[in-house]
Amino acid sequence: MSIFLAALLLAPGSAGTSYLTATPIDTTRPVQVSAVTGDYLYWSFPATAGQQPELTAKVTLPPVADRHGYQAWTIEVFDGLRRRQPCVAGEQSPIVTNDATEVALGCKLRQVRSWAEPSDQDPLPGTYYVRLSSTALPEQDLGLPLKADLTLTAEKGDTGADQGKLAAPLNPVNRPGTVMTETPTPAPSSSATPDESWASDLVPEFSSRWVWTASGGFLAAIAGLVGFSFTRRRRRA
Amino acid sequence: MIATSSVLGATPAEADETEVAPQVELVLDVSGSMRAKDIDGQTRIAVAKRAFGQVVDALPETTQLGIRVLGATYPGDDKRKGCLDTQQIVPVGPVDPAVAKAAIAALKPTGYTPIGLALRAAANDLGTGEGARRIVLITDGEDTCTPPDPCTVARELAAKGTKLVVDTLGLTPDEKTRKQLVCISTATGGTYASAQSEQELTDRVQQLVDRAALPPPVTPAVVAGTESCDKAPVLSPGVYSDRERIGEHRYYRVSLQADEELRASVSVALDRPVNRDYGVLLKAVTENGRELVRGLDAASGRADVISAGLRWSSAEKSDVCVIVSNSFASATAAAAPGMPLELSIDTVKASTAPDAPGLGRGWLLLLVLVVAGLIAGVLAGWLTRWWVATWREN
């Protein structure tokens, strides 16, 4: 019993088994879960415009003696609409030989943009899903115990290159649907309604553009003074 | 289900309040083979009993747990009788640990292994309620009572749309058992694990029961897509489940108000062995069939689901048809039931295209501003000189 309790206390995290049950994670603390080979592990995390989320995972594989061949692992990231997001850096799909004891995976996303055309696949603010799984492994190696560690970091980049704002972040809908039998009443739902005042629409968020524009104005004022002094000097001469 | 949903449609918030406690049933194989002494030098049944005891002790209070056994009572050789041997020893409900442990302690490894029958019975035990339902099947050997093939039974149960997930656990499984259990869990969207030691068994059962106690945030509403746009069901924002056969196209309809954005995503679950490469396509079209936007994904190798999503908005009020199609190929029969499909629909305020930026950046901007400032300064200087000169003259 005591061993069991200890095991419970030591279990520092969990993972979901589908998009709907994905376990939320954040940047503050890494997660470690026990699972078995063949499991599909799902996590979800929020991202805001300007962030560049990066995931690093480490899978401690089952004992070498129990395994029979190569394993291909993959870490995949999907946005709130379950659209695949490409990784721009990191070892996304490593293949390990049967003498490896662990496998390291990583995926760095593109910088999350504040707005994109509806037909674009650009990363947008909202929920992201992570799926850690093995895409190929010997059939007899299914179901063996392993440990998976996942760390999320989200470096805040500059949003200066972006304009526009998404009306509502890409969050999943968490309620069962209803089939409508008659003409629907206008009831625009939203998974999250942003409560923004007109001021935030008018004044752009802080970015490098503020620095460039302000310093430009400062330099222009100095240049104005310099220009003025040219004319003064010429008069004295 | 659809009927009740449309009645509830006016007040979707109420649906969340009537939450049903998640139910889980442990199905334990007590067939003769469980006498084998090969887990840490002890019999499989002794290990399973202890693991169950620990799980029952640590059970969350809200969990509705039941226990069913198979092959526990009939010791004879008559296969017909032996293959009907399955009983529920703890009814599904809040568990009294003492009673449950006493029932488990009394078990003796005895007869055949009618897994298919036990699965059907377990599905019955759990009823057809609204909440999430899970079966945890623990066995050490393959079904000895085929037909019915347990994997076919699992497919049938899944196809009934009863939101039933079967997780399987093999006790030191051989190749045949493993393949059968993997097939059962894949067909229902469950997981498979093997246990070689008592610790592994306890941990995994505990993990599965914990998972069952934490139901998904939403139970998708069942819907049936049609084969053309005009007959398609009109969907409101929410999550739906459906089934799609290989190569089939399913149509759904969404009514969009002016300046509303449609957000749709779909996941198709790979519930059977499929050929190596596959894909899913989600298309939004007008009522006349003109394509508006598409979302697609393709992959190869093992996967549980493949998903795609799309966004689309219009300044005018319109009806949009959403088509889900797939490019799977499978050696198993392409006939019904189809593959499980999860569709999520949302409508939000449309995002407007941004104006030109209000602020600038870059060296060119600085250069332009400096030159403009310099010219302004020089002009101001000349102006001042001219003004001072004229003032002096007067």
- Confirm whether A143 is domain-assigned: yes
Is pLDDT at A7 greater than 50 in this prediction? no
Residue ranges covered by each domain of chain B: 20-213, 221-349
Q: What is the CATH number of domain B20-213?
A: 3.40.50.410
**Same domain membership, residue A121 and residue A10:** yes
Say if residues B45 and B84 touch (Cβ distance below 8 Å). no
- Asked if B206 has any chain A CB less than 8 Å from its own CB, the reply is yes
**Same domain membership, residue A219 and residue A127:** no
Q: In chain B, pLDDT over 70 holds for what percent of residues?
A: 93
pLDDT of residue A122: 92
Peptide bond into B340 cis (omega under 30): no
**Same domain membership, residue A123 and residue A31:** yes
Is pLDDT at A172 greater than 60 in this prediction? yes
pLDDT of residue A234: 52
Whether A36 sits inside 8 A of B377 (CB atoms) is: no
Q: Which of B54, B216, B356 sits opposite A21 (nearest CB)?
A: B216
Q: In chain A, pLDDT over 90 holds for what percent of residues?
A: 51
For residue B272 the two structure tokens come to: 């059977």
Say if residues B251 and B330 touch (Cβ distance below 8 Å). no
C-alpha span between A184 and B338 (Å, rounded): 30
Is pLDDT at B309 greater than 50 in this prediction? yes
pLDDT of residue B14: 36
**Same domain membership, residue A138 and residue A32:** yes
**Same domain membership, residue A143 and residue A41:** yes
User: How do residues B192-205 score in pLDDT, each as one tens digit?
Assistant: 998 888 888 888 88
Say if residues B242 and B225 touch (Cβ distance below 8 Å). yes
- Asked if A218 has any chain B CB less than 8 Å from its own CB, the reply is no
**Same domain membership, residue A141 and residue A216:** no
Is pLDDT at B6 greater than 50 in this prediction? no
- Confirm whether A179 is domain-assigned: no
Domain tally, chain A: 2
Whole-prediction pTM: 0.85
Q: Please say which residue of A156, A175, A192 terminates a domain.
A: A156
**Same domain membership, residue A130 and residue A19:** yes
Q: Of B235, B227, B226, nearest to B253 (Cα)?
A: B235
- Asked if B152 has any chain A CB less than 8 Å from its own CB, the reply is no
**Same domain membership, residue A220 and residue A146:** no
Q: Which of A14-18, A119-123, B335-339, B367-371 has the lowest mean pLDDT?
A: B335-339
What's the fold here for domain B221-349? Jelly Rolls (2.60.120)
The mean pLDDT of B311-320, rounded to a whole number, is 90
**Same domain membership, residue A127 and residue A25:** yes
Beta-sheet strand order (sheet of B133-139): B86-93, B64-70, B23-29, B133-139, B164-171, B192-195
Domains B20-213 and B221-349 share a fold: no
For residue B275 the two structure tokens come to: 């050929």
- Confirm whether A45 is domain-assigned: yes
**Same domain membership, residue A134 and residue A223:** no
**Same domain membership, residue A145 and residue A37:** yes
Q: Please say which residue of A121, A156, A191 terminates a domain.
A: A156
Confidence of residue B279 (pLDDT cuts 50, 70, 90): very high
User: How do residues A64-122 score in pLDDT, each as one tens digit?
Assistant: 988 888 999 999 999 999 999 999 999 999 999 988 999 999 999 999 998 898 888 99
Expressed as residue numbers, the domain containing A221 is 206-236
- Confirm whether A165 is domain-assigned: no
Whether A179 sits inside 8 A of B189 (CB atoms) is: no
Is pLDDT at A11 greater than 50 in this prediction? no
Confidence of residue B253 (pLDDT cuts 50, 70, 90): very high
pLDDT of residue B4: 38
Q: Which of A81, A179, A183 sits opposite B5 (nearest CB)?
A: A179
Strand pairing partners for B116? Answer: none
- Confirm whether A21 is domain-assigned: yes
Interface with A, mutate which of B369, B387, B390, B392 (most A CBs under 10 A): B369
For residue B253 the two structure tokens come to: 């309809």
Domain with A76 in it: what CATH number? Answer: 2.60.120.380
- Confirm whether A172 is domain-assigned: no
**Same domain membership, residue A212 and residue A147:** no
- Map residue B333 onto helix, strand or coil: coil
DSSP class per residue in A20-84: TTPEE--SSS-EEEEEETT--EEEEEEE-TTEEEEEEEEEEPPPGGG--S-EEEEEEEEETT--E
Whether B239 sits inside 8 A of A177 (CB atoms) is: yes
pLDDT of residue B96: 83
ipTM: 0.86
pLDDT of residue B366: 92
Residue of A nearest to B257 (CA): A186
Q: Which of A135, A166, A167 sits opposite B301 (nearest CB)?
A: A135
CA B166 to chain centre: 12
What angle do the packed helices B198-213 and B44-57 form, to 10 degrees?
Answer: 40
Distance from CA of A114 to the nearest CA of B (A): 10
